[in-house]
Amino acid sequence: MLGLFLGGLYLFVPRELYAMHISEGILSLNWALLWWAIAILTLGLALRRLNFYLKEDPQRKAVFAFVTAFVFLVSVIPIPVPFAGTCSHPVGVAAGVFLLGLSGSIVAGFIVLLLQALLLAHGGLSSLGANTVAMAVVGSLSAYLVILIFSRAFIPLYMKAFLSGVIADWATYGVTALQLALALSEGEPWGSLWVKILLAFTPTQVPLGLLEGVITAGVVTAIAKRRSNLLITEVLKFQEGVTK
């Protein structure tokens, strides 16, 4: 039902279909290799952890499939932002963190980015490492940190999910801006270029991050009300009684 609805939602968006990833030709070989190295290292650790996790509880494979499809769907919908006059998309990994933890969300994010590069020419293969670090790794890590920071705080689950979604989105685009600044700052201080790119990102990404928070809160709350045991332990540990 939700999938059909989201699929139908796609029909309403305008026809300029672009995703927000760094494409081929922007990063120099050195930077592309560096981001690939970081991505491979992180993916190796995440895959090892996820493999252990799925062997321990094979039923989680369905959760992994759900999260991967969800992140793919959310991150190909270009949402028009009236303030900026451009379209951009949420990242969706924060909801993945609530269901699969850090490792599962990182792997799901990488699979999504790989499929988008190969099937839709969005992003690229040389820039896949950079996009993986920004969206899958930093997006998931920031959402996970928000969960940990607020794990002992007795604030409602929807608020934790909202904050995770917002921070994951903003952190992803903050790191994308940093990657661009580092790669393109030839003769210019990278710090000032980073600020310049962040300012260019702001009109689109600030409202979009808030929307991502709402989406994350909606999905996480809907799941918590129906099958709370699908959420990771870090979320549940201090949650008893809060959303009753």
Partner 1 sequence: MKKWCLLLLLILSLGSSAIAKTEHSEEKWRGFDEAVIERIAEEKGKKPYGLFSLEGDLELFAFALLSGIAGLLVGYYWRKLISENRDASCFTERTLSSSKGS
- The interface with partner 1 within residues 137-166 (CB under 8 A) comprises 158
Enumerate residues 172-191 that contact partner 1 by CB under 8 A: 176, 180, 184, 186
- Alpha-carbon distance of 12 to 138, in angstroms, equals 30
Q: In whole angstroms, give the CA distance from residue 139 to residue 171.
A: 6
Q: How many residues bind partner 1 (CB under 8 A)?
A: 92
Q: Does 224 bind partner 1 (CB under 8 A)?
A: yes
From the list 31-39, 134-142, 162-170, 212-220, the region that binds partner 1 by CB under 8 A is 212-220
Residues forming a β-bridge with 79: 88
Residue 24 touches partner 1, criterion: CB under 8 A: yes
Nearest to 26 by CA among 137, 110, 123: 123
Q: Is 56 in the site for partner 1 (CB under 8 A)?
A: yes
**Quick one: how far is CA 101 from the chain centroid?**
13
30 near partner 1, judged by CB under 8 A: no
φ, ψ of residue 23 to 5 degrees: the values are -95, 180
Least distance between partner 1 and beta carbon 9 (Å): 5
In 3D space, the residue among 167, 142, 172, 183 whose CA is nearest the CA of residue 35 turns out to be 183
Q: Does 49 bind partner 1 (CB under 8 A)?
A: no
Contact 230, 144 (CB under 8 A): no
Q: Which is nearer to partner 1, 69 or 148 (CB)?
A: 69
Residue of 42, 132, 164, 204 interacting with partner 1 (CB under 8 A): 204
